[in-house]
Amino acid sequence: MRITLNIWRQPNAASAGAMHAYELDEISEDMSFLEMLDVLNENLNEQGEDPVAFDSDCREGICGTCSLMINGEAHGPEVTTTCQLHMRSFKDGDTITIEPWRAEAFPVLKDLIVDRSAFDRIIQAGGYISVNTGSAPDAHAAPVEKKKADRAFDVATCISCGACVAACPNGSASLFLGAKITHLGELPQGQPERYSRVVDMVAQHDHEGFGGCTNIGECTAACPKEIPLDVISQLNKDLRTALKQGR
C-alpha cells in the first residue's frame, strides 16, 4: 500500500506545533498502525530527520499507553486501541491524519505524546479500597453475587487510555471516572468508602480541568474496552446520594 500521512509535529510543550506530510510506500496490510509508524521512523532516521515521537508499550491492547487521533477519531476507525488497529482498515492511496489526544487536561509533551498524569491523581483522590497488606480475611469470607462480580469485572477492564476524554467535545473524563466508581461500588469490599470516594474523585476530576458531562456519548463510542455509558449514570447516582447524606 501507498499512503500519505499528515502528522502533528511539536518539539516540546512550550513550542508551537504544525502538521507535516510524509509519504510511505510498501506498507503491508498485516502491519499494525504502530508498526507502520515504526517504518516511517526508520525512514526518517535514515534521512536525518527526527523520528516522530509517539507512546506505546504492550502493543496488545492492554496497557493503555498508545493514544492517537486518527482522522479525527480516538484510536482510529475501529473500536480498539491504536496498537490493535491494522493497516487493512485503510485503503491503498489513503491520506491519514494523525494528531495527539486533544484535551486541556492532557497537555502535549512532544509530537503525539501527551501527559495523562491527571488520571493518576484522580485515582489518588480515592480510586482504591483502603486495605493494608497482610490483614485481609480469607477470600471466601465475602461471596459476591455473580451478576455484580461480572459487572464489576466488565468495567474494571478500563485501560486508562484517555480515548473517552479525547473523543468528548467537553473533554470530560466521566467514563473513566464512572468505570472506577462502578467497579469498586459493585463489590462488598468497596462499600465503606463508596460515598466519600465519589465526592473526592469528582472534585479532583474537576480540579484537573476535565469538562462536565452533557451525555453526548462520544466517549463510549470511542472506548476500546466498550465501557458502557451507564457507568456515568451510576457515577451521578452515587454522587447525588453522597451529597444528600453528607458523604
The residue from 59, 86, 102, 247 that contacts ligand FES (CB under 6 A) is: 59
32, 83 contact by CB (below 8 A): yes
Instruction: Give the range of 22-30, 55-63, 99-107, 174-182 binding ligand FES by CB under 6 A.
Output: 55-63
The residue from 24, 44, 53, 62 that contacts ligand FES (CB under 6 A) is: 62
237 binds, among another protein, ligand FES, ligand SF4, none (CB under 5 to 8 A by kind): none
Q: At CA 158, angle to CA 78 and CA 191, rounded to 5?
A: 150
The residue from 23, 57, 120, 150 that contacts ligand FES (CB under 6 A) is: 57
Collapsing DSSP to helix, strand or coil, 28 comes out as coil
* Cα gap 83→200, rounded to integer Å: 33
> Which residue type sits at 210?
F
CB of 142 or CB of 215, closer to another protein: 142
Instruction: Give the range of 14-22, 58-66, 99-107, 192-200 binding ligand FES by CB under 6 A.
Output: 58-66
Nearest Cα to 163, choosing from 151, 153, 152, 176?
176
51, 63 contact by CB (below 8 A): no
- Give residue for cell 473523543: 167
- Considering the rule CB under 8 A, would residue 55 count as an interface residue with another protein? yes
* Cα gap 57→78, rounded to integer Å: 20
* Cα gap 40→50, rounded to integer Å: 11
Binding stretches for ligand SF4 (CB under 6 A): 158-164, 175-176, 179, 223-225, 227
- Considering the rule CB under 8 A, would residue 146 count as an interface residue with another protein? yes
The residue from 131, 203, 207, 243 that contacts another protein (CB under 8 A) is: 131
92 binds, among ligand SF4, another protein, ligand FES, none (CB under 5 to 8 A by kind): none
- Considering the rule CB under 8 A, would residue 226 count as an interface residue with another protein? no
Q: How far is CA 84 from CA 22, 51, 75, 113, in A?
A: 22, 21, 9, 18
163 binds, among another protein, ligand SF4, ligand FES, none (CB under 5 to 8 A by kind): ligand SF4
- Considering the rule CB under 8 A, would residue 28 count as an interface residue with another protein? yes
- Considering the rule CB under 6 A, would residue 36 count as an interface residue with ligand FES? no
* Cα gap 166→10, rounded to integer Å: 18
- Considering the rule CB under 6 A, would residue 64 count as an interface residue with ligand FES? yes
60, 70 contact by CB (below 8 A): no
- Considering the rule CB under 8 A, would residue 84 count as an interface residue with another protein? yes
Q: At CA 205, angle to CA 219 and CA 57, rounded to 5?
A: 60
The residue from 19, 58, 129, 243 that contacts ligand FES (CB under 6 A) is: 58
- Give residue for cell 453528607: 246
Distance of closest approach, residue 41 Cβ to ligand FES, in angstroms: 16
Question: Which residues lie near ligand FES (CB under 6 A)?
Answer: 56-59, 61-66, 81-83
